[in-house]
Amino acid sequence: MQHGKYRFIAGFLAVPLAIYLMFVVWPFIQSIYYSFTDWTGLSPEFSFVGLANYQKMLSDSDFWDALGHSLLFLALLPVITIGFALFLAFMINVGGRKRKGAAVSGVRGSSTYKIVYFFPQVLSIAIVALLFQFVYNPRNGALNAGLEGVGLGSWKPNWLGDPDLALWCVMFVLFWCTVGFFVVLFSAGMSSIPNDIYEAALLDGASRFTTFFRITLPLLWDTVQSGWIYMGILALGPEAFAVVQIMTVGPGGPANATTVLPLEVYTTAFSDAQAAYATTIGVALLIVTLTFAAIVLKLGRRERLEY
């Protein structure tokens, strides 16, 4: 009976596993192999060069600039996005005033708040980047128009043209278009926590601050950990590439102030026709992503709480 069960399971997994190996694992293996070659990507001819591409990468200032910006995204975006989303989700679900028959409740109109916060997820990242490109326009953009409206017309920064501001402008766009997803995600997790636990804590004199750190966060930790990894992947992945590619001059400017690793891979492969070297940078991006996920899983490991 057991032998037949495993055969049945293997039969169902064979086709999905084969597709996964063909379209996910095999391209990774090919990329790693091509990183040891000299290949333009425009012809089938290539030659094996060993570690030459990796040596070139370690001495490439553009790569280190892009790596630094990507690491800055990786260090700040998950912290800011997850932290703010947790705050909003807690206020929506638990931060309301006491009502009849319920010691703990969300704010009034919580469903509307969730829809408003989630709205950026409905828009394509390309549309969001284009919209904010107009917002940041130094001449007739909404942001500088707002500054002029409140009497700060003399201070009109060139948001995307200033090397000291451009990267932070891009980072804000990534924060704006992703925080709503995590608000809805954490709200779903919080709504599954029984109100009896909160009511018991409030009867014991616990404050909202205490209930968040002693009840909500521990019971929601698995979701937070998964969200942290997902946000890190977004900060290193196509969303960061799309925003920088569309919004910035160059792209990646001014003066390489907004280059990130995905953009460096793209420009190296398609603008410079150095596909093999681009795969080398891609391997470095893969290592950074896997290292980040491993660190989050290691540091976030704790005993599972059930209720």
Residue 144, burial from CB neighbour count under 10 angstroms (0-12, 13-18, 19+): buried
One pLDDT digit (tens) per residue for the chain, 307 residues: 455 677 777 778 888 889 999 998 998 899 899 999 998 888 888 889 989 999 999 999 999 999 999 999 999 999 999 999 999 998 888 765 555 555 566 677 777 888 888 888 888 899 999 999 999 988 888 898 888 888 877 788 889 999 999 999 999 999 999 999 999 999 888 888 887 887 788 777 777 788 888 888 888 888 999 999 999 999 998 889 999 999 998 888 888 999 999 999 999 998 888 999 999 999 999 999 999 999 998 887 766 656 5
Residue 204, burial from CB neighbour count under 10 angstroms (0-12, 13-18, 19+): exposed
The CA distance from 228 to 290, in Å, is 13
128: left (phi over 0), alpha (psi -120 to 50) or beta: alpha
Which helix or strand (DSSP H or E) is residue 279 part of? Answer: helix 275-299
292 phi and psi, to 5 degrees?
-60, -45
Alpha-helical regions (H) of 59-138: 61-93, 110-122, 125-135
The CA distance from 97 to 76, in Å, is 32
Assigned token pair, 173: 């766009």
Identify the structural domains of the chain with CATH numbers, from first to last: 53-299 (1.10.3720.10)
Report pTM. Answer: 0.87
